[in-house]
Amino acid sequence: MATQTAAPTPAGKETTPAASTVRKPDRRFNSAPILTTVTWVLALIFFSPVLWMVLTSFKQESAAASDPPVFFFAPTLDQYRAVLDSGAGSYFVNSAIATGVSTLLVILLAVPASYALSIRPVKKTSDVLFFFISTRMLPVVAVIMPIYVIAGQLKVLDNVWTLVVLYTSMNLPIAVWMMRSFFLEVPGEVLEAAQMDGAGLMKTLWRVLMPMVAPGLAATALICVIFAWNEFFFALILTAGQSATVPVFLMSQMTSEGLFLAQLSAASVLASLPVVIAGWVAQKQLVRGLSMGAVK
């Protein structure tokens, strides 16, 4: 933050009088640590529930339930062992299939769609965009019963591919909107230059546009992964023994009789790891993309 605000000042030569009054070295010297402290405090506040979850996952159930809360305790891996013993594997496999395949499908469908809505706009683009996003306006709970009954009649209840289809359609509108905004940022001159050089549609899309929107693509894919991985409602209602996903597994760690906080925390830590890793991987791509944009 500090370096970015400092950068424009040499360019502002015309405003020297104003700039000289603002540029009191001692004041700026003071604000930096305050800003840093505030940032850290905010970050810690936001992070504290996650930290508490990680801490709780290493407790025994009685320590996790104690009031006032315990901060110092003998850490144990019992909860992780219990979670892994309860057959978490198949849930993770189902989640990986539902998330991976749906995200892939979304990207495959959203890239051409958003291309057609930005760079080569079709007729009534805004209507099409509205039509896309309108599917997100109906609350899921309002359509769950028809979906359940239809899935029951098609004999696709408790089937991971049903989730793939639903997650694809759930994420597609968001992906189209996001990718469209990234495509819109591509300067028209670049496309004209590609055309002049004789590049066809596929070549332009693949060799010219893709590298330029790669960070956007990564961001879109990450959002889709997060939404699909964390999706709970469809998974709860439409799956049973064969195709239940990780959020349903988390739910099954809860009980109405007995203590469950520590084990639930351990399961939650394991469940959030893939998303954290995906975010970390995508982050590198995102940062590179941002710096590329800055040079442009």
| Residues forming the site for another protein (CB under 8 A) | 60-62, 65-67, 85-87, 148-149, 152, 154-159, 161-162, 165, 236-237, 239-244, 248, 251-259
Residue closer to another protein, measured from CB, 180 or 282:
180
65: exposed, middle or buried (Cβ count in 10 Å: 0-12, 13-18, 19+):
middle
139: exposed, middle or buried (Cβ count in 10 Å: 0-12, 13-18, 19+):
exposed
Smallest distance, another protein to C-beta of residue 81, A: 12
With beta carbons less than 8 A apart as the criterion, state whether 272 and 226 touch: no
DSSP string, 36-52: HHHHHHHHHHHHHHHHH
Rounded distance between C-alpha atoms, residue 236 and residue 144, angstroms: 11
Smallest distance, another protein to C-beta of residue 126, A: 19
Residue 4, CA distances (Å) to 1, 7, 9, 197, 294 in order: 5, 5, 10, 37, 11
Structure token digits, residue 131: 């039509």
Structure token digits, residue 157: 């209840």
Residue closer to another protein, measured from CB, 181 or 252:
252
Residue closer to another protein, measured from CB, 2 or 154:
154
Q: Which residues contact 82 (CB under 8 A, 6 or more apart)?
A: 263, 266
Residue closer to another protein, measured from CB, 50 or 154:
154
Smallest distance, another protein to C-beta of residue 85, A: 7
Residue closer to another protein, measured from CB, 61 or 214:
61
Smallest distance, another protein to C-beta of residue 258, A: 5
Smallest distance, another protein to C-beta of residue 207, A: 23
One-letter amino acid of 46:
F
Smallest distance, another protein to C-beta of residue 62, A: 5
Residue closer to another protein, measured from CB, 19 or 108:
108
Smallest distance, another protein to C-beta of residue 288, A: 33
Quick one: CA dihedral 220, 222, 226, 228, positive or negative? positive
269: helix, coil or strand?
Answer: helix
Residue closer to another protein, measured from CB, 9 or 135:
135
